[in-house]
Structure 1
Amino acid sequence: MTRRSTTHDSAATATAEESDAPATRGRARKYTQVLGVIYQAAVEVFSADGLAGASTQAIADKAGLSKAQLHYYIESKEALYRQVLQDIINDWIGVFGFSDEAFGPRKVLTDLIQRKMLFSFDHPLRSRIFAAEMMRGAPVIKEMMGTSKQRTNQAVAVIQNWIQRGLMDPVDPMLFLFHLWAVTQFYADHAAQVAYFRDMPASDEKDRRYLTEQVTEFLLKGAGVRA
Structure 2
Amino acid sequence: MRSDAVPEEVDAAEAPATRGRSRKYTQVLGLINQAAIEVFASEGLAGASTQAIADKAGLSKAQLHYYIDSKEALYRQVLQDILTDWIVVFGFSDEAFGPRKVLGDLIQRKMMFSFEHPLRSRIFTAEMMRGAPVINSMMDTSKQRTDQAAAVIQNWMNQGLMDTADPMLVLFHIWAVTQFYADHATQAAYYRSAAQQGDDKDRRYLIEQVTEFLLKGAGVK
TM-score normalised by the shorter chain: which range applies?
A: over 0.9
For 1:199 and 1:48, the matched residues in 2 are separated by 27
Which 10-residue stretch deviates more, 193-202 or 183-192? 193-202
For 2:33 and 2:47, the matched residues in 1 are separated by 17
TM-score scaled by length of structure 1: 0.91
Q: Quick check: 1:192–1:202 contact (8 Å CA) kept in 2? A: no
Match of 1:78 among 59, 72, 75: 72
Match of 1:138 among 132, 137, 149: 132
Gaps of at least 5 residues in structure 1 are: 1-15
Match of 2:220 among 201, 205, 225: 225
Q: Which has the larger radius of gyration?
A: 1
For 1:21 and 1:197, the matched residues in 2 are separated by 56
Partner of 2:211: 216
1:51 and 2:51 matched? no
For 2:94 and 2:13, the matched residues in 1 are separated by 51
Report the secondary structure of 1:17's partner residue: coil
Q: Which runs of 4+ in 1 moved over 6 A?
A: none
Report the secondary structure of 1:208's partner residue: helix
For 1:159 and 1:34, the matched residues in 2 are separated by 43
Amino acid at match of 1:144: M
Shift of 1:195: 1.7
Task: Using the aligned pairs only, state the percent identity.
Answer: 80
Partner of 1:148: 142
For 1:47 and 1:187, the matched residues in 2 are separated by 15
For 1:195 and 1:173, the matched residues in 2 are separated by 31
Report the secondary structure of 1:139's partner residue: coil
Shift of 1:202: 4.8
Shift of 1:203: 2.9
For 1:71 and 1:40, the matched residues in 2 are separated by 16
Amino acid at match of 1:219: L
Amino acid at match of 1:182: A
Partner of 1:170: 164
